[in-house]
Amino acid sequence: MKGKRWILVLSALYLSAAIAGCALPGNSQEAIAEMSVTQVKQLVAQTPGTLAEHALFIDVRTPQEYAQDRIGESPLIPLAEIESGEEIEKIRQLAGDRLVILYCFSGFRSGKAQQILEQAGIEAVSLEGGIQAWRKTIPPTTEANLF
């Protein structure tokens, strides 16, 4: 029963994230599915288990940015590697049946990555506002409680 509840909650959050998605500048045709930090916190509150059991965070920034700060133990897969297609299968394997939450500094690069992964058939959302928004709400000292 817990598994079914998780699927319903995640589906509702994913749908609301997709509906609330925004378009990339200069590309009004394709919407970006986004999830806010508040929605991530709701996911944690409404589902049993840890966030890591239900979602895979992927950092699409540069190695230099990653070295400065990252969310949890998220793997680094830079946008350039996603754009080239070389890491798409790795992401598919890492994700399994978890939702992929992509993030960068502000949300622009993760939005581009989200569109590429959606085209490859991988359910993914971009973290609205990126790691900037995450850190405004969730400091590193309390982050471990979510994962």
What is the DSSP annotation of 20-67? Answer: T-EEETTEEEEEEPEE-HHHHHHHHHHSSS-HHHHEEEEE-S-HHHHH
Residue whose C-alpha is closest to residue 104's, from 138, 51, 44, 57: 57
Domains and their CATH numbers in the chain: 2-143 (3.40.250.10)
The proportion of the chain whose per-residue pLDDT surpasses 70, expressed as a percent, equals 80
**Which of 4, 30, 40, 48 shows the shortest CA–CA distance to 134?**
40
**Res 144: pLDDT:** 87
Task: Report the range of poorest mean pLDDT among 27-31, 66-70, 115-119.
Answer: 27-31
In 36-142, the DSSP E strands lie at 55-59, 99-103, 124-127
Which comes out higher in pLDDT, residue 7 or 46?
46
CA-to-CA distance for 125 and 34, rounded, in angstroms? 5
Considering the chain, what is the average pLDDT of its residues?
84
Cα of 10 vs its chain's centroid, Å: 13
Average pLDDT over residues 106-114: 97
- Separation between Cα atoms, residue 72 and residue 58, nearest integer Å: 10
What pLDDT does residue 11 have?
47
In 3D, which of 113, 105, 111, 108 has the Cα closest to residue 131? Answer: 105
Q: Rounded to the nearest 10 degrees, what angle do helices 2-19 and 37-46 cross at?
A: 170
